[in-house]
Chains A and B, each alone.
Chain A
């Protein structure tokens, strides 16, 4: 399997989608085996492509930029050529591995989780389409295909969030997610076209090369970069576009794991990673990313602290992580961001799937009605704990290495470092909270606790696999591990985007952050396990702050009001204007004018014959005179 064959990857799940959509009801088991088979094949192919890539890397050395392959899609001769093409390089390999592996895990998990769902076949069809689009997105060598796939993952996300479409809340959440990201996409599309206008190409490498050669004007480049970032912010749920992600938890939990944790939401990070050179050319570009990332990280951590829905807590932790990745990009450490992305995919998918296991067993997802599940669901409890601690950043778990890498990269920027450090204990605290409230303490609803039990192997095997990876995935950062796995120069070479040995380890930072994590975990344990009265006391003291966090900084309300009061009012005004001014006055006015003219004119019809005769005579005489005058 060659790297240039990578275009086959998206086609397999796409074919599965077509087959399931058209033939779904007539296939045995509604065709789930087709979808799972397709993604399993893709995973194997990805491994083969990765092997081919490492061989090429060994053969060509560090300057190996990757392989590309493209085909013409549409052409206006001499004016425009649109191509669809794939490009395989280190970043792509990382993304491909993440996407195909998590997708495989989630699809296997769904065999158990979604069993008996009334739209089981459709679920697998859309998941397949999503995987196809996501693979196309990471493989794209040009902005056009990227945008194409970008929108398709968006619509898959829309369809899957609204999977339980009999619920009003699911329908609204799906709509909100699509529209919010779509607003960001307006920016992305404008940016793509502006860059094309300046450089004449959609190819990402070529655009970057042209921009670095100074072919793009400063204003245009600045505008494009800001607009591009808008797209990334929408997709990756960055402040102020983050509002859709917590609501997106209305979808089935495996979907949250795949789309809203591991893959689609990191598309923004991936896009910025790809186009980072453009940002660095613009004055203030990296700072913009850094500021948005920091703000998002901090705000989501505070909101995560007060949410009571287990999935929403994890959703805010995802926003938290995404912010952190942008922080890394903002300080020019794409390697750290990619490492975080890589490890985050495993532990966040694990967290969601664990939460799914709990929901599946208890049919509850509010932590205030859970508790004490460790005895009933030991596997879920252990694996979930591994994920939560990894998210918190406890040493030797995957999340620790990645988070520390980012913190190290931040060292030069004191303020940013301080703010990032401040969120560390917050993160640890709310992860401890959700862990404790769900699995420990006394069950709050004994009935549902009574019936809780571990799910089928389809459910717990992916959990275990992901937990194992969550423990070990961080070690790939070390060259020795990579070489042991057969990657020349260490696997770090792949993760680090051709900057091998870029892994920094700083004992001071590591000890400091670990201390903060432990402090956060201890605080969480103290507040929610040891002294359950503490949260109530704090709540009574900090009621306004709690209200601010619990109401998501009132952003959702502000947006809703803006849409209802402002946008819809304008729309109604325009519609009123159209009906009354343009139509009834303007267009009908023309008709009424003609009618009124006719009314005025009718009075010259006296009905008296001599008047008509006189008119005729005058007319004839006048015409005769005119004729003579003209002739003479």
Chain B
């Protein structure tokens, strides 16, 4: 009896993760609100986590490397959100907007 996860083909996980990742990319590129961009980034991170977990389950089920990575990613994502939201908050306070098109100080 193979593990439950393996009853579903790997391709399905990969497809899910790819769709999720593409949605994230699309969001990052098209959204103008910094908070929404941040959410899209989260989507991409989650897509990566799914990949990690799926590969781990198929390639070396006896080890938990993929799952550990996924936990790391979640942790880092949390920290990142904390940091990013703080920055966005400061930007909003200072510039009166969270529209990234209007925040273009980061140049010559």
Contacts and interface: CB of A to CB of B under 8 A. Distances in A.
A–B: direct contact at CB < 8 Å: yes
Interface of A: 602, 605-610, 613-614, 617
A614 B106 CA distance: 16
A605 B107 CA distance: 6
B11 interface: no
A617 B29 contact: yes
A617 B21 CA distance: 12
A609 B104 CA distance: 8
Given A613-B29, A617-B29, A606 B107 contact: yes
19 contacts: A602-B107, A602-B108, A605-B108, A606-B107, A607-B104, A607-B105, A608-B100, A608-B101, A608-B103, A608-B104, A609-B37, A609-B106, A610-B29, A610-B30, A610-B32, A610-B37, A613-B28, A613-B29, A617-B25
A596 to B, nearest CB: 14
Chief secondary structure at chain A's binding surface: helix
Contacts of B100: 608-610
Chief secondary structure at chain B's binding surface: loop
A483 B101 CA distance: 118
Contact of A606 (B29, B32, B104): B104
Nearest to B105: A607
Interface of B: 25, 28-30, 32, 37, 100-101, 103-108
Contact of A610 (B28, B105, B106, B107): B28
A609 B103 CA distance: 8
A602 B101 CA distance: 18
A606 B100 CA distance: 12
A614 B100 CA distance: 14
- Residue from B30, B105, B108 having most chain A Cβ neighbours under 10 A: B108
B108 A610 contact: no
9 tightest CB-CB pairs across the interface, nearest first?
A: A607-B104, A607-B107, A605-B107, A602-B108, A607-B106, A609-B100, A608-B104, A613-B28, A614-B29
B67 to A, nearest CB: 26
Contacts of A602: 107-108
Contacts of B101: 608, 610
Contacts of B105: 607
Nearest to A613: B28
A563 B96 CA distance: 76
A605 B106 CA distance: 8
A607 B103 CA distance: 7
Given A605-B108, A606-B107, A607-B107, 14 more contacts: A602-B107, A602-B108, A605-B106, A607-B103, A608-B101, A608-B104, A609-B37, A609-B106, A610-B28, A610-B29, A610-B100, A610-B101, A614-B29, A617-B25
Nearest to A608: B104
Nearest to A598: B108
Contacts of B107: 602, 605-607
A521 to B, nearest CB: 95
Nearest to B34: A609
A610 B100 CA distance: 8
Nearest to B30: A610
Nearest to A603: B108
Contacts of B103: 607-609
B24 to A, nearest CB: 11
Nearest to A614: B29
A613 B106 CA distance: 14
B50 to A, nearest CB: 19
A599 to B, nearest CB: 9
A241 to B, nearest CB: 67
A569 B87 CA distance: 67
Contacts of B29: 610, 613-614, 617
- Residue from A602, A610, A617 having most chain B Cβ neighbours under 10 A: A610
